[in-house]
Each structure stands twice: as C-alpha cells, then as structure tokens.
Amino acid sequence: MLLCLLGIASSLDAGTNTAENHPQLSWKNGGSSVSGSVTVDANWRWTHIKGETKNCYDGNLWSDKYCPDAATCGQNCVIEGADYQGTYGVSASGNALTLTFVTHGQYSTNVGSRLYLLKDEKTYQIFNLIGKEFTFTVDVSNLPCGLNGALYFVQMDADGGTAKYSDNKAGAKYGTGYCDAQCPTDLKFINGIPNSDGWKPQKNDKNSGNGRYGSCCSEMDVWEANSLATAYTPHVCDKLEQVRCDGRACGQNGGGDRFSSSCDPDGCDFNSWRLGNKTFWGPGLIVDTKQPVQVVTQWVGSGTSVTEIKRKYVQGGKVIDNSFTKLDSLTKQYNSVSDEFCVAQKKAFGDNDSFTKHGGFRQLGATLAKGHVLVLSLWDDHDVNMLWLDSVYPTNSNKPGADRGPCKTSSGVPADVESQAASSSVKYSDIRFGAIDSTYK
C-alpha cells in the first residue's frame, strides 16, 4: 500500500536522455553583475515514455496508448532536457540571448521559443518591479510583420510549482509552471498534471493543441514587438498567484467568451502607432528598428502601489522619450500608462475596459509586489496573425484604435511566415535592473 502511494505520486518528472544544461546569461542588478541562466518552457520539450524513446506527445496529439487519461499519462511520461541550439535555435553568449524563429533539428522542426530567467538550477529569478527600472537592448531588425519578440513578466511560482503541486517534480529547472493573462489552454502540463484530457489539436498548427484546463496569472508585457510595431501592456488577474482554470473560466481559449476568465485579456496597451504617432517606431524612423535599441521601462511607485509605467528608448547615445498620444478623441495627451490613460484610451477606442474592471493599477501593484518571472520569447500567432499588434484589427474596421501598425491585413499568416521568414531572429542583451534612472546613460 505504501509503495503504491509513493509509486504513483509523480506526474511530471524529467527523463535522463539529454542532460539539462541551461544556457548562461549574465545581467546586472543594481550595477552588479549576476550570473544567470535560462530554461526553455516545458511545452517545447520532448515528452516520452519513461526509460524509453516512444513519444507520449507527437506533433499536436497525445498518444492514445500511453495517455488514455491524464493520471495514466502522468505516470507513463516524462519531459526531457534540451539541446538549446540544435533543437530550439536558442543561443546565449555573455549577456546576449538570440532566439531563432524556425529550427530544423534532427528530429523535428521547431517554431519559436519561450524561456525563463533562472536564479539557480531550480529557481526562477523573481523581480519586484515597483519603484524600479528594467532596461535591455533589443535587435528586432530581423523580425518582419507577424512575428513577436516578447519580453515580459508573469506571476509564476519561483519553483515552477513544485511546492504547491506535489505532482510536479520537474520544476523550474525544466521550465514548468507557466501562466499568463490569456489563461492559455495550450499547455501540455498544468499543476504537474498532463492537460491531455479533452485535448483538441489546433487546426492550423502542427505543433499545438488545447486541453480542458488553462493556467492564469497576471502579466506585465514590457515588450511585444517586431521591426514595424511595438506595444507595452499591463494585464491583471483577480487572483494574486497562478491558478488553473477549467473550460469557459479560461475565457476564449477555453471556449468561453473573451471576457469570461478571471483575468483581463486585453490589458492596457501603449502602442505609438495605434495612439496616433506613425513616424515613431520603424525602419529609419525616430526609433530606428534597423539598429539595436535600448528599451527603458520604469514603474513609478513604492510598496504595493504603482501609479505609472514610463518608457524611454536610447539609441546612438541619445535618449528618446516615449511618443505622446495624438488622437482627436483624447482631450489630454499621454506618453505613459496609468489608470487615467487606460480609462481615457478604452473610452476613445470604444473597447471594453476589462483592465479597470479587474482592478487596474491597484491590482497591478498587488501582483507586482508578489514578484514576477522574466520571460523571453519569439512567436507567431495562429489565432489572429499578430494583426492586433502590427496591422488593422478587426481587419474590416475603420474605428479609432483599429489601426495598430503598417502591416497588411493579409500578413502574419503562420504558414507564410514560417516558410518565408524562417531564419528571422531576435536578440536580447544587456539586461539591467535597478533604481529609476540608474541603468541607462
């Protein structure tokens, strides 16, 4: 009986086929150099039978044989260590991390990646952004329409969820425990258990599908960008920790409506183009995306209170202040994100203000004070082709706020970008965290 209890406990464990060697990435905290490393999200990892090389998950499907139900699946299957460069197109050197879009590996074709900064082998680095500044250099010159090089924070557990969920043995070391404000249901494991029950393959995605459950938590999008468009966007959730959702309670991803989850899926975005300045961000423009650019973000506040998120860019040794809004419908001009800006922007665009409904900056302060994990990713969009970032969306709309960037409404189709822009990449480097106005020149 005791053996039996011990034997079935572990549902998400790591295999021994490939050693997990985290790429090293150094960064600066308050001016001091920190030797960090990154780990790729569990979703990207090979999932196979324990002790054998048979797949538990292949393409966009779970094996009927090894995963007839989540509990059996968890007992049968493990996730593997990663060959970062060969399989995922991820390379780190000194303080720089480069993510390549499509990688033709020995066993598979990989699309995009999502990585987390680690403090040590088993623990994510936790950042409390309140009253602080986060700065990095990014090269988006090789990111066309439809791609998104994203650097952001989410309220994941520092250990990936091993303390909270005894089924999770793999932990942060193997990139487990992801959550965000879209309550994604495409995760293969949630709370240490396979999300295989009710799994539906995604029609236009050979690599992914959606399960019954999703994983929700607050998200601070510092950076979502390609060479044609960029936005920064806080999103808040009702709970101040990662929580699993079921079906409709996961919002649109779970088959519910867009606003039926406990999170704010839209967030409150600052996109210079969308807010009326079409000459600010792009190739050869005021912030020239043909060159690397230093991006500075500041969270004004203290304790559990944050009131404003400011942005500056630095290029060629020159500090460029964020653009101001230029919209007829706004009586005041803004160049930062705050409760006042969010209410005014949502009203001007006729958007549902779910950011304010879920607590706005009060809730943002509460979640940021708990600490967030840094995410570095590159992705394409199998739902709406990234048009919400870089084109006109909804595509047939001429309402204020629909025009978000210069890309064509026919752009960003995953099949097109994955074949035509396969070698695209994004390079993040020189991450610096510290007191406001201390990390850039």
408 lies in the site for ligand NAG, by CB under 6 A:
no
What's the closest the beta carbon of residue 151 comes to ligand NAG, in angstroms? 23
Residue 101 and residue 41 in contact, taking contact as beta carbons nearer than 8 Å: no
* Start-to-end Cα distance in the chain: 64
Q: Which member of 191, 354, 367, 391 binds ligand NAG (CB under 6 A)?
A: 354
Stretch that binds ligand NAG, among 29-37, 51-59, 351-359, 427-435 (CB under 6 A): 351-359
Shortest reach from residue 254's CB to ligand NAG, in Å: 15
Q: Does 259 bind ligand NAG (CB under 6 A)?
A: yes
Q: Which of 20, 80, 133, 219 is catalytic?
A: 219
Cα–Cα distances in Å, from 250 out to 257, 373, 382?
A: 9, 21, 18
- By beta-carbon proximity to ligand NAG, the closer residue of 88 and 280 is 280
| Cα separations in angstroms, 224 against 123, 148, 150, 173, 227 | 25, 6, 4, 25, 11
Whole-number minimum distance, CB 156 to ligand NAG, in Å?
A: 23
Q: Is 323 in the site for ligand NAG (CB under 6 A)?
A: yes
Q: How many residues bind ligand NAG (CB under 6 A)?
A: 11
Please identify which residue in 54, 65, 200, 357 interacts with ligand NAG, judged by CB under 6 A: 357
Q: Which of 20, 80, 133, 224 is catalytic?
A: 224
Rounded CA separation 82/91 (Å): 12
Within its chain, how far is the Cα of 125 from the centroid?
15
Distance from C-alpha of 411 to C-alpha of 407, rounded to nearest angstrom: 6
Looking at beta carbons only, is 128 or 335 nearer to ligand NAG? 335
The reply on whether position 261 binds ligand NAG by CB under 6 A is: no
Nearest to 412 by CA among 297, 404, 316: 404
Q: Does 127 bind ligand NAG (CB under 6 A)?
A: no
In the complex, minimum distance from the CB of residue 253 to ligand NAG, in angstroms, rounded to a whole number: 15
Q: For residues 33-92, which are near ligand NAG according to CB under 6 A?
A: none
Candidate ranges 55-63, 132-140, 143-151, 352-360; the one touching ligand NAG (CB under 6 A): 352-360
What does each C-alpha distance from 43 to 10, 124, 189, 190, 332 come to in angstroms?
18, 17, 8, 10, 44
Cβ-based neighbours of 100, under 8 Å, separated by 6 or more? 89, 90, 91, 378, 423, 424, 425
Q: CA–CA separation, 173 vs 134, rounded Å?
A: 24
Maximum distance among all Cα pairs of the chain, rounded to whole angstroms: 72
- CA-CA distance, 371 to 164, in Å (whole number)? 17
Nearer to ligand NAG, 287 or 389 (CB): 287
Nearest CA to 38 out of 94, 110, 121 is that of 121
Query: Measured between alpha carbons, how far is 147 from 418 in angstroms, rounded to an integer?
Result: 10
| b/e map 264-282, b = 16+ CB within 10 Å | bbbbbbbbbbbbbbeebbb
Q: Which is nearer to ligand NAG, 36 or 267 (CB)?
A: 267
- Position among 29, 60, 329, 352 found at the interface with ligand NAG (CB under 6 A): 352
121 counts as catalytic: no
Query: Least Å distance between CB 397 and ligand NAG?
Result: 16
Judged by CB under 6 A, the chain residues 266 through 305 that form the site for ligand NAG are 276-277, 279-280, 286
Least Å distance, CB 10 to ligand NAG, is 38
Q: Which residues of this chain interact with ligand NAG, rule CB under 6 A?
A: 259, 276-277, 279-280, 286, 323, 326, 352, 354, 357
**Which residues are designated catalytic?**
219, 224
